[in-house]
Chain A
Amino acid sequence: MENSNELSDSIITQNLLPKKFGKRGMLWTSILVAICILGMYAYYRQLRYGLVVTNMRDYVSWGIYISNFVFFVAISLVGSLITAIFRLINVEWSTPLTRIAEIIAVSAITFASIIIVVDMGRPERFMNLFLHGRIQSPIMWDVIVIGTYFFISLLLLYIPLLPDLKILLQQKDKNPNWLNKLYSFLGSFWIGSRLQIALSNRAIQILCILIIPVAFCIHTVTSWLFATTYRPGWDSTNFGAYFISGAFLVGSGGVVVAMYIFRRYYQLEKYITEQHFEKMGKIVVLLCLIYLYFNVNEYLVPAFKMKKAEEKHLNELFTGDFSTMFWFAVIIGMIIPIITLIFKKGRKPFPMFIIGSMIVVGAWFKRYLIVTPTLLNPFLPMQDIPESYKHYFPSWEEWAIAMGSLAGVLLFITFFARIFPIIPIQETITEENAKHK
């Protein structure tokens, strides 16, 4: 029995060790790098010529960059759901998903911070935010809470990684020299003593408790950037809860997509099973229903009253210029996922992958719809404004930077999966051994 356990331990280790890129991996990485380079060139142009290269003007001063920022903040919340909430309520099946969720969280929050700097016309003045910042401003709260959430997510990614680093260091002959140096730097001190394990467990427990209120804060504060104004579409007491429910949904959608891709291309069918998709499917449909409920509140109640200031905004969303995008986001981001996922067949891996992708795409457009149409309808319109103020469609530089940042997130996750095990090896071995006892 002991031998069979040892064998299964080594099989698990071999199965879960990070793998070199194949041809498809190289192609995928090259495409992402190319998109990132294009994004960097577009940003160079923005720095060189100023924000005038964007199509943002006096009315729409928060365009695709801020939509992207809200999207990244939203998707990063999944770290707290799958890692922290599931761990605290002893959801054991979530073990293979925790690191996927956490790396999505870290990479998304990193690029959320980057995209905010991109949105600044004079990024060299960033420090002024700290030197002259007013604590009364929700923007200041957002900066503080994003920094805090980033640090917690990083710790929550790093501490559970320590036992795996020991395993990686045991396979020195299989790794290139630079990787061994990196593993040694990050985790050569981990010997797996009882005291070390006890301290690590305590740290993880504290982090799991701490990350939940901070995660709620980060997205509530992001929603307050909008909701603390009187503007149509933003002036809502519902916004914090509405944003958080949407964030959990898009994050879970992102995890489902990542689960499918890693499972398929790293041959992880034994670890990320159909049961995982089945259970995640049930969670996603629940989150979809909650988010739909908040959407109904967010749009139906103002539409019932049709206050003058809200009227133009709501009409533009329901039947006007933004209606195609609005109904597209609602249908592919909520309605189709609900209809598909309530059936058992819809919760199989491939349908789940399609639904997860739809949720993520729908969520991106939803953020765009939250930010832009409101800005096109100011309370106090200016007179004799140029035509360009009245419409907004991102310039190629904005698209390139936004797509570059999305590619950056994917590249971050891709490199992480190349260097570190995407499924926790030690935890999987411990759980397997516990099952055999």
Chain B
Amino acid sequence: MQNINKVKILYFSLLITFFFGAKLSAQEEVVKLHYYNENNNLQYLILEANRKEAKILTPLPNKEYKVFLNTNDSSNLISAIKTDNSGRAKLFFPISLKESWNNNSEHTFIVEENEKEIISDFIINKAKIEIDTFTSDEGQKSIKAIVTKLVENKWLPADEVEMKLGIKRVGGILPAADEQSYTTDSSGTVVAEFKKDKIPGDENGNITLIAKVEENENFGNLSTEKIVNWGIATQVDSTFFEKRTLWSTRFKTPYWLLTLAYSIAIGIWATLIYLVYLVVKIVKLGNE
């Protein structure tokens, strides 16, 4: 009987250990590094720290990390950072690492937390993206983007790179043609016909073309922009908000709406006040 009880206790202990063990292991710290190269002249890194629990990622704020270039010597320290409320931190390369950065075509980034290496295999091959435009004899405007990678100090075409090519708008990239994304050919080139002829630009008709490679496993995030005069010039009507319209401020409400709304509200509330007066009269009659 005692043996059976012991077995039960052991069984429950194992069950509890397994349950809590599973619970603890279900929580996982996920740290990711992202490399960016904007307009081929601004390189930086973004570190993202999250806690993963039941497939839900929760940002980890105020976490401290050290990020190194190639080796984790103090001389190769890019930056010691602390994550913000969204669990992110942005790092720029210090001037002291310029030579080391320029001398190699491929770099490894190392992330340490409390002197412990947590990322050591984030390797980036230096690459750049260029954007150009041309017009065919038939008058068809096109956008051309070329992706090149640095191999032994030579810029060579990068093929099979997926990218977006289009017009920079608020909130995203509007594709220049029907395709949502493009892949570079053996010469590292993609060409997209510009089919958004009637797109509004700024007051001079300027629009910004953009070529963007996102989260490429070799090159990270690359983007470059070019301003062209392909849009329709938009004239900003400065008197627009001065008019009494349904979309203007509350001080510019149309008179017809003011009259209608206030007439209804006053009519109904005047009747309600009269009804309250009747109730008061009933009260007074009872108290006489």
Chain A: residues with CB nearer than 8 A to chain B?
132-136, 141, 144, 148, 151-152, 155, 158-159, 162, 188-191, 193, 195-196, 199-200, 202-203, 206-207, 210, 214, 380, 382-384
Contact = CB atoms under 8 A, between A and B. Distances in A.
B261 A152 contact: no
Interface stretch (B65-73, B104-112, B153-161, B244-252): B244-252
A408 to B, nearest CB: 26
Contacts of B30: none
A135 B286 contact: no
Given A135-B250, A383-B172, 12 more contacts: A134-B249, A136-B253, A144-B265, A189-B284, A189-B285, A190-B286, A193-B285, A206-B275, A210-B272, A382-B171, A382-B172, A383-B171
B118 interface: no
B275 A214 contact: no
Contact of A188 (B171, B247, B286): B286
10 contacts: A134-B250, A135-B261, A136-B247, A152-B272, A195-B285, A200-B278, A203-B282, A210-B268, A382-B172, A384-B172
Q: Which DSSP category, helix, strand, loop or mixed, fits chain A's interface?
A: helix
B52 interface: no
Interface string B166-185: 00000111000000000000
A389 to B, nearest CB: 12
Given A132-B250, A383-B172, A203 B286 contact: no
Nearest to A191: B286
A110 B172 CA distance: 43
Q: Which DSSP category, helix, strand, loop or mixed, fits chain B's interface?
A: helix
Interface residues of B, number: 30
Contacts of A206: 271, 274-275
B249 A189 contact: no
Contacts of B284: 189
A151 B272 contact: yes
Interface of B: 171-173, 246-250, 253-254, 257-258, 261, 265, 268-269, 271-272, 274-276, 278-279, 281-287
Given A135-B258, A136-B250, A144-B265, A210 B282 contact: no
Nearest to B247: A136
A199 B276 CA distance: 11
B137 to A, nearest CB: 34
B149 to A, nearest CB: 24
Given A199-B282, A206-B275, A135 B172 contact: no
Contact of B253 (A134, A189, A207, A383): A134
Contact of B257 (A136, A191, A210): A136
